[in-house]
Amino acid sequence: MQPPRGALWLFASPLRLRAGVLLLALLALSAGAAWNFDTILKNAEQRYGNLGTAKTRIESWGRLIADSENLDEMAKLKAVNAFFNGALVFTDDRTVWHQEDYWATPVESLYKGAGDCEDYSIAKFVTLRRLGVASDKLRITYVKALQQNQAHMVLTYYASPTAEPLVLDNLIPQIKPASQRKDLLPVYAFNAEGLWLPGPGGGKRTGDSKKLSRWQDLLTKMRAEGLDLDETR
C-alpha cells in the first residue's frame, strides 16, 4: 500500500503497516459465521492445556454472542464494549507476548486475559460483525491519546454514513460521541470499504482496501481455533 499523505504521517511506519494489514482482515470477516464454542474450547485446550480462568472468559464470550443476537445495534455496542473492557487488562505486546508487535485473535486475548488497544478494537470489531453489524458502520480508528501522548486505537461506529461516530474505547469505558472525546485526536480510520481521513460528515475517503498478506497468519490462527471463516478463503 502506498503511504497515505497528510495526517497519516503523524504516526510513523508501524501504525501505517498495522492499518494496512488490518484492511485485509476487515475484508475477510463477514457476519453470520457459525461459531461452535465447544470446538473453540477444545482447540484452545489442545493448544494451551488447562485453560484455568480463561475457559470462563471464552465461555462468557460465547454467551455474550448468543444473548446479544436479537438486541438492537446500540445494545449490541454496549454489550460488546463492556464485555471486552471487563475481560481484558490493558497490557502491551512486549509484556503479554514478548514481541514488539503481536496480532492476537480474540481467543488468544481472552486466554491471556490481556491485550493492547489493537486487541480490544479487533475483538470488538470481530464480535460486532458476528452479531450482524454492517462493516460500513464500523471503523478501526487510529488516534493520538493526548493525555498519554501516544498512538492509540479505538473502534468507531457510524449509525449512518454522515452521523457523528460513537467511540468504543478501553481507556474510557463509556461509549461517547466523538465530540465528547476531546482527549483523542483522530488521525485516520479504515474498514473494508477503504481508508478515511477525519472530517465532517463521516470524513473523507482517501483510498480503497488493498490485499495485503501479513494478516493471513491471523486468519489461519482463527480457523485453527474453530472460527468458521470458510467464506473468507
pLDDT digits (tens, 9 = 90+) for 60-93: 999 999 999 999 999 999 999 999 999 999 999 9
230 pLDDT more than 60: no
pLDDT digits (tens, 9 = 90+) for 180-212: 999 999 998 877 666 767 776 666 666 554 443
User: Do you know the residue count of the chain?
Assistant: 233
The span from the CA of 111 to the CA of 184, in Å, is: 29
Query: In sequence order, which residues have a C-beta less than 8 Å from that of residue 33 and are 6 or more positions away?
Result: 130, 227, 228, 229, 230, 231
Nearest to 121 by CA among 113, 109, 136, 134: 109
In the chain, where the domains are located: 6-232
Q: What is the pLDDT of residue 7?
A: 42
117 pLDDT more than 60: yes
Range in 1-15, 18-32, 88-102, 169-183 the model is least confident about: 1-15
Show the cell assigned to 111.
Answer: 486466554
The CA–CA distances, whole Å, from 125 to 133, 134, 140 equal: 9, 10, 8
Q: Which residue has the higher pLDDT, 44 or 12?
A: 44
Q: What is the pLDDT of residue 193?
A: 67
Domain boundaries 6-232, corresponding CATH code? 3.10.620.30
